[in-house]
Amino acid sequence: MIQIALLCTHATSEERPTMSEVVRMLYTQLAAERWEEWQQVEVTRRKDYETLQRRFNWADDSIHSLEAVELSGGK
């Protein structure tokens, strides 16, 4: 039941099961199948996120090494 509840907490409605799916999952093995599908999607998302994070990691370094720039005075 916890896995079904977690499936119902996705941020987008397209990823959440419908109520009829929830009822079927509660009475069948569909919950385990849906959970396995979701885990595969999450593994792919995490890999994609880590790849992007490594690719743009230079941005984090440059933020911390900025030097103050003195602006000209008022006119």
Interval 12-63: pLDDT, tens: 888 898 999 888 888 877 777 777 888 888 888 888 888 887 777 655 555 5
Q: Where are the domains of the chain?
A: 2-55
E-only strand ranges, the chain: none
According to the model, what pLDDT value does residue 18 have?
92
Cβ(24)–Cβ(30) below 8 Å? yes
CA distance 54 to 58: 8
Q: Is the pTM of this model over 0.75?
A: no
Determine the Cα–Cα distance for residues 53 and 64; give it in Å rounded to an integer: 17
For residues 60-72, give the mean pLDDT.
61
**Would you place residue 73 in the very low, low, confident or very high pLDDT band (cuts 50, 70, 90)?**
low
